[in-house]
Amino acid sequence: MGSIAENLKRVREELAEACTRAGRKPEDVALMAVSKMHPAGAILEAYEAGQRLFGENRVQEAQSKLPATAGLAGLELHLIGPLQNNKTAKAAEVFHAVDSLDELKTARRLNDAAASLGKTIPVLIEVKLSPEDTKHGIAASGLTELLDGIASLEHILAAGLMTVPPLEGDPRPYFAELRRLRDLHAAAYPRLTQLSMGMSGDFQVAVEEGSTCVRVGTAIFGKRI
Ligand SMILES: *Cc1c(COP(=O)(O)O)cnc(C)c1O
pLDDT digits (tens, 9 = 90+) for 143-170: 999 999 999 999 999 999 999 999 899 9
Q: How many helices (H) and strands (E) does the chain have?
A: 9, 9
Ligand 1 centroid to 217 CA: how many Å? 6
Mean pLDDT calculated for residue range 2-12? 97
Please state, for a pLDDT cut of 70, what percent of the chain lies above it: 100
pLDDT, mean of residues 51-70 = 97
Burial 173-193 (b: 16+ CB within 10 A, else e): ebbbbbbebbeebeeebeebe
| pLDDT tens digits for range 180-215 | 999 999 999 999 999 999 999 999 999 999 999 999
Cα angle 178-184-190, degrees, rounded to a multiple of 5: 105
> What's the rounded mean pLDDT across residues 136-143?
95
**What pLDDT sits at residue 135?**
74
Contact 2, 45 (CB under 8 A): no
Ligand 1 and 217: CB distance under 6 A: yes
Give pLDDT, residue 197: 98
For residue 88, pLDDT beyond 80: yes
Closest protein CA for atom 6 of ligand 1: 217
Q: How far is the CA of 117 from the centre of ligand 1 (A)?
A: 29
pLDDT of residue 131: 81
Mark out the alpha helices in the chain (DSSP H runs).
Answer: 4-21, 40-48, 59-69, 88-94, 104-116, 143-151, 172-186, 203-208, 218-221
61 lines ligand 1 (CB under 6 A): no
Cβ of 63 below 6 Å from ligand 1: no
